[in-house]
Structure 1
């Protein structure tokens, strides 16, 4: 086990996020001591590692595995119902626990299952992707999708602990790592410009999970999210800044029937938000150009289909971030200074979209 970094999320309850290599053995101690049964929710690609997790938790607990579809296909009510069925048949009680072992979609699902079983049991998140580590597993947002949109059904349910074992990233494809890095770039633009500097210095090193630059970027992104969610669990104020790029990004995911990686959609969404910021007189041309350059250095997309705007607008109007029928966008006054733009004129939105339309 290498030296690990611990980031604490303040709150009631607070919890620790541990970042390091070879830290999976910490899972047994992260579970509630009174938990006699544990459900490990995992995708098919991690079946072998899930079996190893089951063995590592020893004979003192009954450990059940729930294999669920990978990515957004797993975030459906039918899949949650399958997990509830497994728990019900095993007589899970309020002192038992759930482990989310997978990418962002799996940790979203596992958290939702934990939040809803007997009105809430403990969950420990073990994210296995960049996206899961810097975003989905941290903050206590859980949810599933419906035919009408992404994450429209969910609950705020903070985990008991989060274990970010960087060894789990070694087998990810370069495309998967890069897609997850969109959320890291977001952290750079809304809070930690050091991330942007590291990408510009060496865009290859920052996506190499064995480089110091990669680990630094991951830690900064996690620190940012931990601080924000610690101050605002239920998105009543500050936490909204985490939605930079997400309003249009989620609409693109829905339009693509979740065949696009989340990070790719968020990358385009951030470009839209930057252009909206510029057209609203808030952000300089140079800052917008810098964002485009950084995303393109990483190989992330910055444009989307020109004719898709009516469909995307209709989806955004159903977005959970809307309030009272009014669209809300996180925009930038400058790098590191996000703010809310409420109910912008549709002509302004259309003009911003034309800047990213391909």
Structure 2
């Protein structure tokens, strides 16, 4: 059992990481939740694999669970889906003092978490992430959101879960592409914060050998994110470094309407391209882009795309990280260290991408 604590005063919570913990989920929930009703919000993919199993596990612990299921896919992380989820939660008889479980990957965690933060003006929830990307990144830190037609995660909030329960066994039903996608976020943590961890990942023979140590990998990513979130919960300073590769990556996702690349694949391209750009601008130590390329290729992640830069620039101007016309671009100084560079909206095209 690996246990981490995120210290956010009255919003503090624990992260539990253990193979097989999914079967004991009720025991952990009972540590803080003494009522009976629970609503599980998940998507069609996760529900078909584990939905009934989770409800049975909860029932065996004396809970009275209900289930709300929406269609899987980033394209469904929107207000239409959110409205249906709200209505189903209300129809299930769940009230403000009850508990919501976000059970799925990043899309489920974001949408269900946002639903929890807003329905009845806020109800408690926990995260049970089922993808590698969600287990190492999106389930921790309290960012919840939905997409709009103008971009990804433009409407959201910071709303911390009461607990995060991570079972690496749930990763066994993922297809290989999804696992590789999650490795992009794993690599990000080494690149921005921990050169030793980066080299550890680089020295692994392949994805299979990394998966053999997946509990250690998940723990290290969560440790890094916990340290960052404890310092900057609301993404006003240090937490910005977690966006390495994301400004470009999110724009690429939006450019293709979330159909060509997974989130991790788009972030992979973003990390490589921004590192090349950093070297050109004299911000990033020469040669670091080769290391980024090597590690991304090792895990068979994409590094480039012939995208229309003019369109990308317009999308980036709508990014949620655009604060009063200023975007913060995250560059590597070198592997394990970053530099935040503020760029005015009107400068993006002529100063950065040419």
Same fold per TM (> 0.5)? Answer: yes
**Do the aligned partners of residues 255 and 35 (structure 1) sit closer, same or farther apart at CA in structure 2, a change above 3 Å counting?**
farther
Aligned to 1:355: none
For 2:121 and 2:35, the matched residues in 1 are separated by 16
Deviation per residue, 1:193-252 (Å, 9 max, x gap): 23321232224156653x12x332222111111111122111111111100000010001
Q: Structure 2, unaligned stretches of length 5 or more?
A: none
Aligned to 1:39: 39
Aligned to 2:353: 350
For 1:74 and 1:35, the matched residues in 2 are separated by 31
**Do the aligned partners of residues 143 and 203 (structure 1) sit closer, same or farther apart at CA in structure 2, a change above 3 Å counting?**
farther
> Does the Cα contact within 8 Å between 1:198 and 1:206 map onto a contact in 2?
no
Say which is worse superposed, 153-162 or 58-67, in terms of deviation. Answer: 58-67
Aligned to 1:24: 22
Aligned to 1:11: 8
For 1:49 and 1:321, the matched residues in 2 are separated by 35
For 2:156 and 2:27, the matched residues in 1 are separated by 28
Aligned-residue offset at 1:279: 2.1
For 2:329 and 2:99, the matched residues in 1 are separated by 36
> Does the Cα contact within 8 Å between 2:201 and 2:210 map onto a contact in 1?
no
Following superposition of structure 1 onto structure 2, how do residues 79-118 of structure 1 map, counting pairs within 5 Å? 79-118=81-120
> Does the Cα contact within 8 Å between 2:5 and 2:14 map onto a contact in 1?
yes
For 2:183 and 2:109, the matched residues in 1 are separated by 17
Say which is worse superposed, 37-46 or 252-261, in terms of deviation. Answer: 37-46
Aligned to 1:200: 202
Aligned to 1:129: 131
For 1:338 and 1:26, the matched residues in 2 are separated by 40
Relative to the length of structure 2, the TM-score reads 0.93
Deviation per residue, 1:38-77 (Å, 9 max, x gap): 1111121222411111111127433111111213133111
Say which is worse superposed, 234-243 or 269-278, in terms of deviation. Answer: 269-278
**Do the aligned partners of residues 198 and 318 (structure 1) sit closer, same or farther apart at CA in structure 2, a change above 3 Å counting?**
same
Following superposition of structure 1 onto structure 2, how do residues 41-60 of structure 1 map, counting pairs within 5 Å? 41-47=41-47, 48-58=49-59, 60=62
Relative to the length of structure 1, the TM-score reads 0.92
Q: Structure 1, unaligned stretches of length 5 or more?
A: 352-358
For 2:254 and 2:115, the matched residues in 1 are separated by 22
**Do the aligned partners of residues 30 and 153 (structure 1) sit closer, same or farther apart at CA in structure 2, a change above 3 Å counting?**
farther
For 1:219 and 1:228, the matched residues in 2 are separated by 14
Q: Secondary structure at the match of 2:340?
A: strand
Aligned-residue offset at 1:115: 0.4
What is the root-mean-square deviation of aligned Cα atoms in Å? 1.6
Aligned-residue offset at 1:175: 1.4
**Do the aligned partners of residues 255 and 140 (structure 1) sit closer, same or farther apart at CA in structure 2, a change above 3 Å counting?**
same
How many pairs are equivalent? 345
Aligned to 2:263: 262
